[in-house]
Structure 1
């Protein structure tokens, strides 16, 4: 099997504890889940990593697909001797967590998937194509400002300048090559016909005001389709709910991941 580029990663918590892997989304790096990882590291072995072309990870391989990225996560587990792990992700990271649960059921103990779908609707595919074109035309720095302005409301940005700054820094630390590879993977991703076959215990989490990444009606339909899944909706939160509602996210993670 071809060896893929390694992900830059951080591993914390007791070596003999159950593992939890946090999967970042597009434009996010190893710091995206830092607060939640710190909270869990007392009782879990916590793995976080930079996507290819993000943060300190190398550029993605040629012809990088959604399946390639999933293989990269499994390769990282193998390199670290992790036989089984729970998965937590948001947006692209949530979708990838669900796909890994389908493809590698024996390696995945539980899944918490925030604000995501098994397939991008046609209008969202066009949205992502436009974003990729904008990144090439205007540069990642300009796109980062537009993206964070969409992620966070003006009131939230004004009240939480450190979060605003952190998310902009993450996005601006993403290479054009890395961003476009993950966008292409997101556009081509489609495991909607198989989603009902997921058997790993799964918590789907929607933000009440997330209208793009994983709207409440879409995630309600996912939960109804899959017997292994249950749904929780975080009131008042948008897409980046781990920053908008960190206490509720921490509570959901602790309750669901507990053996």
Structure 2
């Protein structure tokens, strides 16, 4: 079996508390979920990490596949002695969270998956292939600026410069090999035929104006396939909803994981 690198981790919260793992997405690092992680760290032992080739984590394994990323999270849990954990993810991270729930239900207490799908439609696969070509030609800094401009509206960037700065800095710390590997894993990812086997309590969260990562209709179709999944839609925001509507996301997570 392929040897998987470790991840750089950030852990906070009381020892002995239930674990809650935040899964980062492409171009994200351990700081992507920092606000929500801080909010839940009084009740949970919170685990955040940098993906391979992102932030302070080592480069991904050769020929990195989606299953490698999923197994990498389980290996991280094993190394930390985590038997079970709640899981939160968005975009690619949301897809990883769902795959963990399907493939390792004995390790997942419950999961919250934001703005994601079990498979990229063909047009989205082409979109991501174009991103791979663009980053090779233009470099990660230029692609980061294009990406954040797409993630956030001009009005939001002007009124929330700290969010704009955080996301750009985060993505510009991503190495080329890390970005290409994770995009490649995203393109080949497909667990759509197994989604109906999901038996872990699951909160699906869509964003009203997310038209690529996990559109409302696509997530509504997912919710209909599993009696263990419920869908919530956050109005007025796009794909990066945990940064556009952090208070709303915090409330959803507390309600789901703490029954508050």
TM-score category, normalised to shorter length: over 0.9
Corresponding residue of 1:102: 102
Corresponding residue of 1:144: 144
Name the CA distance, whole Å, in 1 between partners of 2:63 and 2:152: 32
Corresponding residue of 1:217: 217
**What are structure 1's unaligned runs of at least 5 residues?**
none
Name the CA distance, whole Å, in 1 between partners of 2:233 and 2:194: 24
Structure 1, residues 182-211: CA drift from partner, whole Å, max 9, x if none? Answer: 000000000001101100000000000000
Q: Is the 8 A contact 2:95 2:117 kept in 1?
A: yes
Corresponding residue of 1:90: 90
Per-residue deviation, 1:15? 1.1
Structure 1 residues 102-181: aligned runs within 5 Å:
102-181=102-181
Name the CA distance, whole Å, in 2 between partners of 1:6 and 1:96: 17
Per-residue deviation, 1:2? 4.7
Structure 1, residues 48-83: CA drift from partner, whole Å, max 9, x if none? Answer: 000000000000010110001111100100000000
Corresponding residue of 1:33: 33
Q: Is the 8 A contact 2:116 2:213 kept in 1?
A: yes
Name the CA distance, whole Å, in 2 between partners of 1:39 and 1:138: 37
Structure 1, residues 145-179: CA drift from partner, whole Å, max 9, x if none? Answer: 00000000010000000100100001100001000
Q: Is the 8 A contact 2:3 2:61 kept in 1?
A: no
Moved over 2 A (4+): none
Secondary structure class of the residue paired with 1:57:
coil
Name the CA distance, whole Å, in 2 between partners of 1:21 and 1:125: 27
Corresponding residue of 1:182: 182
**What are structure 2's unaligned runs of at least 5 residues?**
none
Corresponding residue of 2:230: 230
| Aligned-residue CA RMSD (Å) | 0.8
Name the CA distance, whole Å, in 2 between partners of 1:121 and 1:4: 28
1:46 aligns with 2:81: no
1:247 aligns with 2:238: no
Number of aligned residues = 259
Per-residue deviation, 1:225? 1.0
Corresponding residue of 1:57: 57
Per-residue deviation, 1:3? 3.7
TM-score by length of 2: 0.98
Structure 1, residues 27-60: CA drift from partner, whole Å, max 9, x if none? Answer: 0001000000000000001000000000000000
